Chains A and B, each alone.
Chain A
């Protein structure tokens, strides 16, 4: 036991070593986190009234970010599909980074939910047995279950793999394969349940479309891998971790298919809504064209849609997706596109017009933006620190001190 604990702390020490760029990066993130915490104190002091949300639009930027990040968490792990089913080795080697990203994204999701709660200290009321979890009736209860199980599963797989690498052993495939196989339907389930959370509400026609869950998955398959592609290029630049071009190009090919499906589903939805032209069309009209002179989301959603279309073509042709310049442009277009589409573009039109026809145009306040930025910085910090000892372990430069050596170290004065 002492052996494991000692070694764990030794590996942990890795995060205190690094060049000035590493510390500057951490310092920068810390500043943002501190600003976020300070802004959150304002929210604790005065309540959610410091946000732009009101009764008419009762969910806003926090829930928008939450929704986007669930997609990232789901998609990061779905990289394992090609890796394990087709035994495509270049991707198999980087699956661990997908899992660490999933852990980070779910942690951020939980933070956003906590921020959005009016009574965060009462969070235990949502637990089964000791609280009053409304299962199976409430989809939010389902979401709590799937998100936490998914976090637990990924933490388990990632720590098992890291531990094995650390002690210099090969991981046991008969343990890891079933867990990875389970994580595939679970990744799909977290995003499906999150879609159902909106989908099940008959009061909100904009969300009450059966195409919502497939659209969630398709867009997540674009944004999650796009984030991974950017991260991989950074990782191989700043560390000695090697990531093959082959893996990157394969993933970008997958993004092209996912984006094709995503755009098709979007088209199907837009057609149905606008062609049938019922009263339920108002939210999508608000989103794309504005209604009654209110059109705050219009420039954003067109930026997203056009960006997604351009990115689709960039990823479709091997020539552009295998050129790092165009590849990165495509990634950034997709990340911003899906962030708008599956964030504000999804949550806000559900409330505009509200159920009694009122139009209250929501926009996040500075407080909300600073708090949200703080969560993103905290997420970036968590991922950086996770990578800081996962990478040297992965490449083999950081290894556990064998038992006999540890004992001799102890005896030294």
Chain B
């Protein structure tokens, strides 16, 4: 009982073929088949970072470099340096030195290719009133905007990813798209993240950022030295955050925020090396970590070098 539909062109097609064609046509509008773009499917079926063989990884990095060059009109190198043995990165922040200038915020944006429109920043600097309730987050101010810093009567506390040893975000992620590397850095595979934002609900430090819109950055502002798990250009609809500048620190450099800080409030080093700056701070200063009652065990230490 095949029903034949006669159309105006006089071509006879039965209903099933017609439906099939319509379905394919619809699918075609939903997926970029028309681009004849094999790289879309390569990206779609890309494996989880930790399940790639060396060969897979090489191919993926090449594809990404090609994609970025097409999209951003600039050659971008995507590295994937592994964690160095016997390294566990730790960070120190001297609250008595910080003047709240936010240079770290902007140096971070420059280094890590965050979107400029809409603005994404990985470091939040909070301003507290001196002599008030200690670390009263509810009364802190993130959008302070004075003529000059530091302002009398206030102190400042920058907050970024605390690189927890026991990270709630990693526990929460339903797809294992975020994990802790052997050198202690919590990273995200931007090609595996589904954008559910459960990690953002789980993070006690407000460290994670979501790309609500298409991240935009002019080519001249793109830092071409990138790492797969760090500052390579991101996509819309995925989560990102501070990685202790993985692309720098795994190559023996300081994170950008440490380098830029004009007052030397930021310290960085290997927690396993007794001679490191961060070990010195931990041993000689009174250090504390944010929200210690949550047992997240951050590798980000706050301290006071001197009183003023």
Contact = CB atoms under 8 A, between A and B. Distances in A.
The answer to whether A and B come from one shared complex is yes
Contacts of B171: 137-138
B13 to A, nearest CB: 21
Interface residues of B, number: 48
B86 to A, nearest CB: 27
Contacts of A120: 194
Nearest to B294: A202
A141 B176 CA distance: 10
Contact of A132 (B48, B159, B210): B48
A238 interface: no
Given A356-B124, A356-B159, A357-B140, A118 B201 contact: no
A339 B271 CA distance: 50
B44 A121 contact: yes
Given A53-B212, A357-B139, A138 B201 contact: no
Interface in A26-68: 46-49, 51, 53-56, 58-59
B59 to A, nearest CB: 19
Contacts of A125: 48, 175, 177, 192, 194
Interface residues of A, number: 49
Interface stretch (A317-325, A347-355, A399-407): A347-355
Nearest to B179: A134
Contacts, number: 145
A121 to B, nearest CB: 7
Given A118-B237, A201-B201, A203-B204, A58 B159 contact: no
Interface centre among A144, A350, A355 (most CB of B within 10 A): A355
Interface centre among B51, B126, B159, B194 (most CB of A within 10 A): B194
B142 A55 contact: no
A77 B168 CA distance: 34
A282 interface: yes
Contact of B213 (A49, A279, A353, A357): A49
A174 interface: no
A129 to B, nearest CB: 12
A136 B123 CA distance: 32
Nearest to B178: A134
A197 B136 CA distance: 28
A241 interface: no
A310 interface: no
Given A49-B118, A140-B198, A55 B172 contact: no
Nearest to A353: B138
Contacts of B209: 55
A140 B205 contact: no
A112 B142 CA distance: 32
B202 interface: yes
Contacts of B168: 201-203
Interface centre among A59, A125, A198 (most CB of B within 10 A): A125
Interface string B94-120: 000000000000000000000000100
Given A203-B204, A203-B294, A119 B235 contact: yes
Interface centre among B44, B193, B195, B208 (most CB of A within 10 A): B195
Given A58-B210, A126-B174, A117 B194 contact: yes
Interface in A79-134: 113, 116-123, 125-126, 131-134
B203 interface: yes
A71 to B, nearest CB: 19
B138 A119 contact: no
A275 to B, nearest CB: 19
24 contacts: A54-B212, A55-B210, A59-B201, A117-B194, A118-B196, A118-B210, A122-B195, A125-B177, A126-B194, A132-B175, A132-B192, A134-B175, A138-B173, A138-B198, A139-B172, A201-B172, A201-B201, A203-B202, A291-B138, A353-B137, A353-B138, A355-B203, A356-B142, A356-B205
Interface of B: 44, 48, 51, 118, 124, 126, 136-140, 142, 159, 168, 171-177, 192-198, 200-206, 208-214, 235-239, 294
Q: Top 6 nearest A-B pairs by Cβ distance?
A: A118-B195, A118-B237, A357-B137, A203-B204, A49-B213, A140-B174
Interface of A: 46-49, 51, 53-56, 58-59, 113, 116-123, 125-126, 131-134, 137-141, 144, 197-198, 201-204, 279, 282, 291, 350-351, 353-358
